[in-house]
């Protein structure tokens, strides 16, 4: 429970102590979500700089080195500062309520795992103002750019990444301990909500994947300062070793950022379809299959590095195989909606957009999985379009849908549905205007991570920049809606969104979890 400040302490000090020392899962969930939203705008501001630079060819108002620094930190901040903390915040808020647990299993460690994050990102952002250059080698930090030629600020980036890894692993341990030990009587694992299943599997992925990244950046540190040659060909090392280590972490990381989103969509779709989730057990098996396969497909990022033909075929077939459980999930979501009593409130709109846009990202991923085709696509803006469809239209849209879905439960107020719908349509249209043209830029041969480009690419780049700026501006409406809902609004009912899974926020009874209710009127 939250520690109460001493009665003699008033005002700001009591407020600071309440949030600094809290062990309440709802408070910590709020801290994660607030921090995520803040870093989302920091990373988004960097994206605006990138798109402003690329809107018109030949601009010189930002130097190439500064541009590379912005590109590097934009990727790291959006992944580790915006998407992942948002999902952890949703887990902190909802898992104890869904499972009937009094709190997270390890509340003090929960507090610690959050407060590591601000220090980590302070160190990471500090690299921009340190003497010399900031990290300028891309968010993947490939050697030898980050080792032999990396600026001094690279060491601070390595420390920040270690802190982020510690935070992620502590949070994952806490989630696993909560799910396995604090479920209400009668709630077996197979009766858990899909969101809880998505996070249970994600937590194991985090514990398995983050040490790989920690090992890779530690070897970077040793190469830079202790005379080793892990990634230095002149000393007998191999720069490709870093790529293997990074993508052994990097591809599971992609699914760390999407599996909780699958769980969210699996909660929203049944509610607004007034039906039970179709093929529920197969959804669980599909999530588990994706998690296992995610550790076996890292090599598809390295088709152009000269790996053996048999290895290329192995990674190509496994990458195409991972589309099967993903397809099962999409089929089951559509099956849930089939002949359902659908309504299209804002959470449902974000869920439908997730399915449509994530599928586009999946199809472009299949194109990248084919070895001879990847030789042409690799390193182009086609890849940029692909992973932004997965992470923005996928992970970010699922987070926004979750906030609209659960914020009435959190605040006791309904959000303004009209504002929510306006925010959705602005986001949906602008995200496609921003990223769909990048497919054509990539197919036409425009390389990624370049500060300038040839004139024939100008029209599509201008279109992408317009879409990006509209998307960024529309998120101000999202923040306004959140503040407005926290401050007041129509009172929310006890059940909020009722439906096939409408009891997911109450302490479960030993009765089966999925008990269908008569669909009431949706406010």
**Active-site residue list:** 74, 103, 139, 167-168, 251, 253, 255, 266, 300-301, 326, 329, 448
Structure-token match 């993508």, residue found: 247
**Cβ–Cβ < 8 Å for 1, 23:** yes
CA distance linking residue 68 with residue 451, whole number of Å: 8
Handedness of CA 457, 462, 463, 468 (dihedral sign): positive
Helix, strand, coil shares, percent, the chain, to 5: 70, 0, 30
Q: Per DSSP, what are the bridge partners of residue 447?
A: 380
Q: Give 142: exposed, middle or buried? Use CB within 10 Å, 0-12, 13-18, 19+.
A: middle
Alpha carbon distances (Å) from 482 to 114, 364, 403, 488 = 22, 34, 9, 10
* Nearest-5° Cα angle at 259, 405 to 483: 30
HSE-CB at 68 with a 13 A cutoff on CA atoms is 16
The first and second tokens of residue 476, run together, are 């101000």
HSE-CB at 59 with a 13 A cutoff on CA atoms is 16
CA distance linking residue 248 with residue 4, whole number of Å: 44
């Amino acid at each position: 429970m939250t520690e109460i400040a001493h009665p003699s302490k008033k005002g700001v000090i009591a407020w600071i102590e309440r949030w600094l020392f809290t062990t309440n899962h709802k408070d910590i969930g709020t801290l994660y979500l607030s921090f995520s939203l803040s870093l989302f705008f920091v990373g988004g501001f960097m994206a605006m700089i990138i798109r402003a630079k690329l809107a018109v060819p030949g601009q010189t108002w930002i130097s190439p080195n500064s541009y590379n620094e912005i590109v590097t930190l934009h990727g790291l901040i959006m992944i580790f500062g915006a998407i992942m903390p948002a999902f952890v915040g949703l887990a902190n808020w909802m898992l104890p309520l869904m499972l009937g647990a009094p709190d997270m299993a390890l509340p003090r460690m929960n507090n610690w795992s959050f407060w590591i994050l601000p220090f980590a990102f302070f160190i990471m952002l500090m690299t921009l103002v340190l003497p010399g250059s900031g990290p300028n080698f891309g968010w993947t930090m490939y050697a030898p750019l980050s080792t032999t030629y990396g600026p001094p600020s690279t060491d601070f980036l390595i420390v920040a990444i270690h802190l982020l890894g510690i935070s992620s692993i502590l949070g994952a341990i806490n989630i696993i301990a909560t799910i396995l030990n604090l479920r209400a009587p009668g709630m077996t694992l197979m009766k858990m909500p899909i969101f809880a299943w998505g996070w249970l599997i994600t937590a194991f992925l985090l514990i398995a994947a983050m040490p790989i990244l920690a090992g890779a950046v530690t070897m970077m540190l040793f190469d830079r300062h202790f005379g080793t040659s892990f990634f230095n060909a002149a000393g007998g090392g191999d720069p490709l070793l870093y790529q293997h280590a990074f993508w052994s972490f990097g591809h599971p990381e992609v699914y760390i950022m999407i599996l909780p989103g699958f769980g969210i969509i699996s909660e929203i779709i049944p509610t607004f379809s007034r039906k039970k989730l179709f093929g529920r057990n197969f959804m669980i098996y599909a999530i588990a299959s994706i998690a296992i396969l995610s550790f076996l497909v890292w090599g598809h990022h390295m088709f152009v590095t000269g790996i053996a033909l048999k290895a290329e075929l192995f990674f190509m077939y496994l990458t195409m195989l991972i589309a099967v459980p993903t397809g099962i999930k999409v089929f089951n979501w559509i099956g849930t909606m089939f002949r359902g009593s659908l309504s299209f409130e804002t959470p449902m709109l974000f869920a439908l957009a997730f399915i449509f846009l994530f599928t586009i990202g999946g199809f472009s991923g299949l194109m990248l999985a084919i070895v001879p085709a990847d030789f042409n696509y690799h390193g182009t803006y086609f890849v940029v379009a692909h992973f932004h469809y997965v992470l923005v239209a996928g992970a970010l849209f699922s987070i926004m849908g979750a906030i609209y879905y659960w914020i009435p439960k959190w605040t006791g107020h309904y959000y303004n549905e009209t504002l929510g719908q306006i925010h959705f349509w602005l986001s949906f249209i602008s995200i496609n205007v921003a990223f769909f043209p990048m497919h054509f830029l990539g197919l036409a041969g425009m390389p990624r991570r370049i500060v300038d480009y040839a004139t024939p690419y100008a029209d599509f780049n201008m279109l992408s920049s317009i879409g990006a700026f509209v998307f960024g501006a529309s998120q101000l409406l999202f923040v306004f809606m959140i503040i407005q809902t926290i401050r007041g609004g129509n009172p929310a009912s006890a059940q909020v969104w009722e439906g096939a899974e409408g009891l997911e926020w109450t302490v479960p009874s030993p009765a089966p979890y999925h008990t269908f209710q008569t669909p009431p009127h949706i406010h």
